[in-house]
Amino acid sequence: MSTPEVTVIDYGVGNLLSVQRALEHCGAKVILTAEPEQILAAGRVLLPGVGAFDNGMQALERLGLVPVIHQLALQKTPLLGICLGMQLLLEESEEYGLTSGLGLIPGRVIPIPNTSTEGRFQKIPHVGWNALVLPTADAAWKGTILQTVVPGDAVYFVHSFMAKPKNEMHLVANCLYGGVPIPAVLVNGNISGCQFHPEKSGEVGLRILREFLSQ
C-alpha cells in the first residue's frame, strides 16, 4: 500500500505541529508549505487555523493563496478545513465586523449564542468534548469524512463563532451546546470542514483524518 501524502497550508495561523503529528500517526507523508505551485500539485490539502477570521484571511491574501485555494476547488482536489480553516471556507464572518471569506461553502460565520435554548447563560468560547449528532433524522454519514464515526462519538472543540450554512445539504453533522445546534462538519463536493480539532480528538479524530487520507 502506498503512503498517503497530504499538503498542509502553512500560512502562519495555527499550531501545525499537532496536526502534522496526527497525520503522520495515521501513516501520511506531510508537506508543510505556503508555495502555490506545491499546493496546486498536491493530491489532497489541509487548511488548519486558530484565531480570528480576519487575521486568517489577511494571511492567505498576503501569501497569494486565495486564488490557489479557489483553484483547488475547481480541480476537485480534496480539501479539509479545520476549526478556523473550516470557517474560512464560508462566504463571510461577523467576527470583528463583516469580513469576506473564501466562499467555497455558501453561508456566514456568526457568534455562538451565550444563552441556551432554555435561556440559561452559557460560557463562550465553547470548549471541550461534545458529541457529534446527525442534523436530521434521515441524514447519513456514508461517503463523508465521518463514514467510520458513530453518532454520539465525541470530539474536541475550541471556538467562539459558528458556521451558518445557507444550504442544509452542506450540513453533515452538528453538536449541541446548551441545546443550540452548532454545525460541526460541512461538506460541499471535494470541500470538507471540521469545526472541532480532529488532531486533538483521540481515536475518533484519527478515524476522521484517515478517512480524509483515503480520498
What is the tens place of the pLDDT at every residue in 6-26?
999 999 987 799 999 999 999
pLDDT, average across residues 147-176:
98
pLDDT the model gives residue 16: 93
Among 112, 131, 109, CA closest to 122: 112
Angstrom distance (rounded) from CA 155 to CA 207: 11
Among 23, 18, 16, CA closest to 211: 23
Among 133, 137, 157, CA closest to 146: 133
pLDDT, average across residues 126-155:
96
pLDDT the model gives residue 144: 96
pLDDT the model gives residue 14: 79
What is the DSSP secondary structure assignment for residue 56, as one 8-state letter?
A: H
pLDDT the model gives residue 15: 79
Instruction: Provide the number of structural domains found in the chain.
Output: 1
Q: Are 194 and 86 in contact (CB under 8 A)?
A: yes
Q: What is the mean pLDDT of the chain?
A: 97
- pLDDT at 2 > cutoff 90: no
- Residue 65 is part of which domain span? 5-213
pLDDT the model gives residue 196: 98
Q: Are 106 and 161 in contact (CB under 8 A)?
A: no
Burial 117-148 (b: 16+ CB within 10 A, else e): eeeeebeeebeeebebebeeeeeebeebbbee
Q: What residues have CB less than 8 Å from 78, skipping those under 6 apart?
A: 43, 44, 45, 190, 192, 212, 215
pLDDT, average across residues 104-122:
97
Domain CATH for 195: 3.40.50.880
Q: Are 26 and 19 in contact (CB under 8 A)?
A: no
pLDDT the model gives residue 206: 98
pLDDT, average across residues 126-139:
96
Q: Are 151 and 132 in contact (CB under 8 A)?
A: yes
pLDDT the model gives residue 1: 64
- 3-class state of residue 169 by DSSP: helix
Confidence of residue 167 (pLDDT cuts 50, 70, 90): very high
pLDDT the model gives residue 215: 92
47-93, pLDDT tens digit by residue? 999 999 999 999 999 999 999 999 999 999 999 999 999 999 999 99
Share of the chain above pLDDT 70, in %: 100
In the sheet that holds 191-194, the strands lie side by side as 29-33, 5-9, 45-47, 79-82, 191-194, 180-188, 171-177
Q: Are 107 and 164 in contact (CB under 8 A)?
A: yes
pLDDT, average across residues 168-191:
97
Alpha helices, DSSP H only, in 64-184? 66-75, 84-87
pLDDT, average across residues 196-213:
98
Q: Which residues are catalytic?
A: 83, 197, 199
Region of residue 27 (left: phi > 0; alpha: psi -120 to 50; beta: else): left
